[in-house]
Chains A and B, each alone.
Chain A
Amino acid sequence: MMEWANRYGADLIQAIITHLYYVLIPVALGFVIAVILGVLLSRVPKISGYILPVLSVFQTIPGIVFVGILFLYVGMVPATVLIALTIYAVFPILKNTYVGLLNVDEKVKEAARGCGMSPLQILIKIELPLAMPNIFVGLRLSTIYTVSWAVLAAMIGLGGLGDFIYRGVGTNNNMLILTGAIPAAILALSLGALVDWIQKRLTPRGLGGKRG
């Protein structure tokens, strides 16, 4: 154990930090982009009826392809990974934001209009809070996917926890594989739990979530 810590300890911490950096930035950027796009799309449901299936198809493109293609054009820099993962993080949140907004009960929106709220007020006070549970489902998916796809950064030599896994697989070194895989698994689980926790804190009691 001590030997392992001495051998990989410093590298591991560095790798976790890099990995986090590959997760948090794309998810944060993706979140902002996705919510904005989701709101815009929900204003034009007729057009969105065509856009969303196309987006779903794009979502089936594995992250590896984004990383790969961007690598060819942008080169071996962290920006490649960040851009690819941001694009990838957008899909689940966008889709869920859109669905959440669309599912807001028409009667509630009518009541809000009847109360004299402006479209912006309805969006901020009614629609977004009501779509929150959906948005969080998307955020959780994006976060977990991004942890997973960020492993690929190592594929183009940009570090992160994938580094250990690649090297381990390449050299048949089980210890090395586990050194990457276990922290990656823990990272995904804890970030997922973190999102759940935030959601619980933010969901009003009226939406069926439990608080306090």
Chain B
Amino acid sequence: MIEIKNIVKQYNGVPVINNLNLTVNDGEFVVLIGPSGCGKTTTLKMINRLIEADSGDILINGKSIHELNGEKLRRNIGYVIQQIGLFPNMTVEENICVVPKLLKWSKEEMSQRTHELLELVHMPYEENAKKYPNELSGGQQQRIGVLRALAAKPPVILMDEPFGALDPITRDTLQDEVKALQKSLGITIIFVTHDMDEAIKMGDRIIFMDKGVIQQDAAPEEMLRHPANEIVRNFMGKHSAAYRSQGEDMTCESLMKKRVYTTTENRKTLECIEMMSHREVDSLVITDESHHFKGVVTIDMLKSEGVAGESVGKVMRTDYPTVHLQDEAHKAFDWLTKTNLPYVLVVDNENVVKGIITKTSMSKALASVVWGDQG
């Protein structure tokens, strides 16, 4: 557990951290976020004493970080920075082993650890250990940067915008890898970023800072749905706006498409295929005569399971997700993103089909929110 207690830091009389208090539990992935100059990086660097606080204290597992000297402390805390900072004069293996070497591990231990770690990120030892950093791609370099931090098995790792300099695809992969490593190894990570997407994706908890003060400390969903104040809301821009509109302003009814191709369950399969091709759609909604929802049938289902002359009622999928007219729009969005279905159905109290919400309606809704907010 890391406890940050009443930390104050000033530069030339200008306060950058104002009486900050924060507790991070073991195994937690905590993201510090905020506009530049908000004090997030300063806070991070005070934990491994690259920056010393003016007053207050930081405890790791109940012991003040000032009980050890800064160097010994840092050997037990992993550290990853945005510019990677691999040592260009050392091979991949030497880079990974910097801290183990400082801790005087034996050669065998270090070599074994290097094998293990490279395995973790799918960079075979034989191919990579003897390379120099300038022989690796940016993404590989930062993988090694992360491994270097993990090498001596520190319980805590500090990351300062570690993926900021990578291209979006590599960044995405590394985010997944790091998140997976953190979960499987059960380590605590404190992660600084200014990218809300990244914060939402990575964090168990997001700490929003501005002007050296914590503005909000919440789980990602909570922060999106209920930004604590205007500063947080503004910073999150599209995220919070979209989420808020989804959550509170927008109902499924307001953005559904009303035109739905329906048919009844006693239609024959071949008729349905013809209807689909005629209307250029690849699925039909099945209802009874009074339009109560029964199920959905797609062209694929008909092709794979349909028997000629049979009624579609036997093939259709009845567990298809539906939402209510008055449901919040985000419920529909959640279904769409979770299930990868082309649309969800909107029904009224009597289970009568009223419309559908597709991915297109979702992006239109988001766009209107974003533009609306700006305009």
Contacts and interface: CB of A to CB of B under 8 A. Distances in A.
A205 interface: yes
B87 A108 contact: yes
B324 interface: no
Contact of A208 (B73, B82, B99, B134): B134
Given A107-B83, A204-B132, A208-B134, A114 B48 contact: yes
Interface in A139-194: none
Contacts of A117: 71, 98, 102
Nearest to B76: A116
Interface in B41-84: 48, 50, 70-76, 79, 81-84
Contacts of A113: 50, 74
Tell which of B48, B71, B145 has the most Cβ of chain A within 10 Å: B71
Contacts of A130: 88-89
B312 to A, nearest CB: 64
A125 B88 CA distance: 11
A21 B81 CA distance: 50
Contact of B81 (A107, A116, A118, A125): A107
Contacts of B311: none
B79 A114 contact: yes
Nearest to A206: B132
A107 B85 contact: yes
B50 A114 contact: yes
Given A116-B73, A117-B71, A118-B71, A111 B89 contact: no
Tell which of A110, A116, A117, A130 has the most Cβ of chain B within 10 Å: A116
Given A107-B84, A111-B79, A111-B81, A116 B102 contact: yes
Given A107-B81, A110-B81, A115 B88 contact: no
A20 to B, nearest CB: 32
B91 A116 contact: no
B212 to A, nearest CB: 21
Contacts of A112: 85, 87, 98
Nearest to B99: A115
Contacts of B148: 111, 115
A108 B85 contact: yes
Tell which of A115, A121, A206, A207 has the most Cβ of chain B within 10 Å: A115
Contact residues of A: prevailing secondary structure: helix
B71 A206 contact: no
Given A117-B71, A118-B71, A206 B85 contact: no
Contacts of B71: 116-118
B90 interface: yes
Interface string A200-212: 0000111110000
Given A108-B88, A126-B89, A130-B89, A206 B133 contact: yes
Nearest to B49: A113
Interface string B127-149: 00000111100000000010010
A206 B134 CA distance: 6
B86 interface: yes
Interface string B84-107: 111111110000001100100000
B74 A204 contact: no
A206 B90 contact: yes
B363 to A, nearest CB: 39
A68 interface: no
Tell which of B71, B81, B89, B148 has the most Cβ of chain A within 10 Å: B89
Interface of A: 105, 107-108, 110-118, 121, 125-126, 129-130, 204-208
Interface of B: 48, 50, 70-76, 79, 81-91, 98-99, 102, 132-135, 145, 148, 158
24 contacts: A105-B85, A107-B81, A107-B84, A111-B79, A111-B87, A111-B145, A111-B148, A112-B87, A113-B50, A113-B74, A114-B50, A114-B79, A114-B158, A115-B148, A116-B72, A116-B73, A116-B99, A116-B102, A126-B87, A129-B89, A204-B90, A205-B132, A206-B132, A208-B134
Given A110-B81, A114-B81, A115-B98, 16 more contacts: A105-B85, A107-B81, A107-B84, A108-B86, A110-B50, A111-B145, A114-B74, A114-B79, A114-B85, A115-B74, A115-B79, A115-B102, A116-B72, A116-B74, A204-B90, A208-B134
